[in-house]
Amino acid sequence: MKPRSYLDHNATSPLRPAARAAVLAAMEAGGNASSVHAEGRAARAVIDDARQAVATGLGVRPDMVVFTSGGSEANNLALRASEPRALIVSAVEHPSVLAAARADQRFVAEIPVDGDGLVDLDRLAHMLAAAPAPVLVSVMLANNETGIVQPIKAVSDLVHAHEGFLHVDAVQAFGRLPVRFALLGADLLTLSAHKLGGPLGAGALVVNDRLKLDSLIKGGGQEYGRRAGTENTAAIAGFAAAMHDIDAKLLPNADLRDDLEKRFKAIAPDLVVFGGAAPRLVNTTCLAVPGLDAQTALMGFDLAGVAVSSGSACSSGKVARSHVLAAMGVNDELAAGAVRISLGWTTTKDDIEAAAAAWQVIVARHRARRAA
């Protein structure tokens, strides 16, 4: 049987061997990290080592790292448990940020983006001037649907000039871009293990000392009192192992992504690459052909043994219009055809060949239907 080509790393990246080994070892060892006996101390040592690994990877102190169940919880913790009097978020944030902000009485506004998906810095400046201080601004480093990279340092400079705080969702960026907490100018930063090739069920929020953070989950005093509940030692261990295992030689390069786009364009000259003129993650492309529905394209890819997705994979498997593309001003018909292809540590040239072959069939069938 021909092996499938997995090109949906922005949804979740396959578990790295080192992460799998770390998860299994921690599960076999057992122990509650809050217990004082030998088994508990061993579990605590696993978490402490993992915290150090995450901290080292970001250039921060270990006590600044709060482990969570994933990126969505970390985003909610950042927005809902922090002290600022107002919230401003970009219009292209992950749903966990947008939903958390819109449900909060402190929510002020969404920062618009231009046709390339980049935040409008002038509008942000006006919003900051009008909002009650202090304000918390949330802008993601790289978009999960389009891969567009935001000018975070410029955003940080604006926010801090108004004595505000900046939250950066770096879930998609870490491991694909250099991410150092201090260089970004962030006060809060979100990570998720399974985007790196770690296990599902682990994430982290990095917290700057200048920002007071309460706990959303009440109970014990775990995670320095900022996230109660017995830690998921196995998932945390796998998180750290995945970070250790990240190697530039194992990550996709822009040549693979660019080759894929070139092949797709040759097959369908009317292809549109969303945000193609903006800085993007080298692993991500979001594209469409006018009149070709995303659901039809996804079925074609799947039947050909190629796993891709339609925009975000965080909507219970539903294919709905992308709020990201809507914010970029993309019309409904074109947005309805958006397909996201995201490469990762397992991607090879053969996967690109398989995707191009599948695309050839999908487009040919689309042209034939329209001609009939």
Residue 251 pLDDT level (bands cut at 50, 70, 90): low
Position 188, amino acid: L
pLDDT at 312 over 70: no
What torsion, rounded to 10 degrees, do the Cα atoms 196, 330, 372, 304 define?
0
pLDDT at 219 over 80: yes
Does 286 participate in catalysis according to the annotation? no
Query: So what's the pLDDT on residue 102?
Result: 94
pLDDT at 311 over 70: no
| pLDDT tens-digit series, residues 133-159 | 999 999 999 999 999 999 999 999 999
Residue 253 pLDDT level (bands cut at 50, 70, 90): confident
| pLDDT tens-digit series, residues 280-296 | 999 999 999 999 999 99
At 294, which CATH number?
3.90.1150.10
One domain, residues 9 and 25:
no
At 34, which CATH number?
3.40.640.10
One domain, residues 227 and 257:
no
Other residues' Cβ atoms within 10 Å of the Cβ of residue 169: 31
Query: So what's the pLDDT on residue 319?
Result: 57
Residue 316 pLDDT level (bands cut at 50, 70, 90): very low
Query: So what's the pLDDT on residue 3?
Result: 80
User: What is the Cα–Cα distance from 271 to 339, expressed in whole angstroms?
Assistant: 11
Given 245, 267, 287, the domain boundary residue is 245
User: What is the Cα–Cα distance from 128 to 85, expressed in whole angstroms?
Assistant: 12
One domain, residues 127 and 207:
yes
One domain, residues 171 and 36:
yes
Residue 250 pLDDT level (bands cut at 50, 70, 90): low
One domain, residues 336 and 258:
yes
One domain, residues 65 and 88:
yes
Query: So what's the pLDDT on residue 82?
Result: 87
Q: What is the mean pLDDT of the chain?
A: 93
| pLDDT tens-digit series, residues 105-128 | 999 999 999 999 999 999 999 999
Q: Is the peptide bond before 151 cis (omega within 30 degrees of 0)?
A: no
User: What is the Cα–Cα distance from 355 to 359, expressed in whole angstroms?
Assistant: 6
**Domain count of the fold of the chain:** 2
Given 245, 269, 284, the domain boundary residue is 245
Catalytically annotated residue among 314, 319, 326, 356:
314
Query: So what's the pLDDT on residue 220?
Result: 86
pLDDT at 313 over 80: no
One domain, residues 179 and 35:
yes
pLDDT at 318 over 60: no
One domain, residues 220 and 324:
no
One domain, residues 232 and 305:
no
pLDDT at 252 over 80: no
Domain that holds residue 228: 17-245
One domain, residues 309 and 192:
no
Given 210, 245, 280, the domain boundary residue is 245
One domain, residues 98 and 114:
yes
Query: So what's the pLDDT on residue 371?
Result: 86
User: What is the Cα–Cα distance from 294 to 37, expressed in whole angstroms?
Assistant: 55
> How is the chain split among helix, strand and coil, in percent rounded to 5?
40, 15, 40
Burial letters 83-111, b for 16+ CB under 10 A, else e = ebebbbbbbbbbebbbebbeeeebbbbbb
- Residue 120's SS3 state is coil
From the list 316, 295, 292, 311, the residue with the least C-alpha distance to 364 is 292
Percent of the chain scoring above 70 in pLDDT: 95
Position 234, amino acid: A
From the list 185, 233, 226, 231, the residue with the least C-alpha distance to 76 is 226
pLDDT at 221 over 90: no
| pLDDT tens-digit series, residues 31-42 | 999 999 999 999
One domain, residues 258 and 237:
no
What is the number of alpha carbons within 13 Å of residue 184 lying toward its C-beta? 31
pLDDT at 174 over 90: yes
Query: So what's the pLDDT on residue 247?
Result: 62
Q: What is the mean pLDDT of residues 202-214?
A: 93
Percent of the chain scoring above 90 in pLDDT: 85
